[in-house]
Amino acid sequence: MIKLSGFGLGGIFVLSGKKAGSKAAAYLKSYIGENLTKEEIKVCVIAALQAYNQKVIEFNLEENFALIKIDNSIFADGITSKKPVCLPLGGSLAGMLEIFMGGNFEPKEIECKACGAKYCVFELKRKN
């Protein structure tokens, strides 16, 4: 069924992450308010990640792009893989940015600790 849909298992992982990230961001916005600055958005995303013991090493946020470097990914710690394994985490980051900034963000894990990298690094690009 998954193969026939053309969505793939990776797409399901990203979508489930987006749903979780969207819910977390909507919850935070209900307490903090609407029109957040980029710095406030970064604080919210970092706080959400810290709640699960994930440490943000670097976070560059622009209008249509974000680069987020994370240590202690709950998906990559303690395992090895030939492919990046943090698709739900990337989806969660995209879901949060979509709620905080609007639009549709596509996540891509460009480095993964499970693949031997020091950190998990995500690029999030706004789709046109």
Query: How many angstroms separate the Cα of 9 from the Cα of each of 2, 82, 84?
Result: 7, 16, 13
Q: How far apart are CA 1 and CA 16, in angstroms?
A: 17
pTM, rounded to two decimals: 0.91
Question: Tens digits of per-residue pLDDT, 44-85?
Answer: 999 999 998 999 999 999 999 999 999 989 999 889 999 999
Q: Place 2 in a pLDDT band, splitting at 50, 70 and 90.
A: very low
Q: How far apart are CA 111 and CA 127, in angstroms?
A: 21
**Domains with residue ranges and CATH for the chain:** 7-126 (3.30.1380.20)
H-state helical runs in 1-128: 2-5, 8-32, 38-50, 87-101
Q: How confident is the model at residue 11 (pLDDT cuts 50, 70, 90)?
A: confident
Residue 7's pLDDT is 57
Specify whether the CB–CB gap between 126 and 65 falls below 8 A: yes
pLDDT in tens, 15-36: 899 999 999 999 999 988 888 9
Q: Is residue 122 within 8 Å of 89, Cβ to Cβ?
A: yes
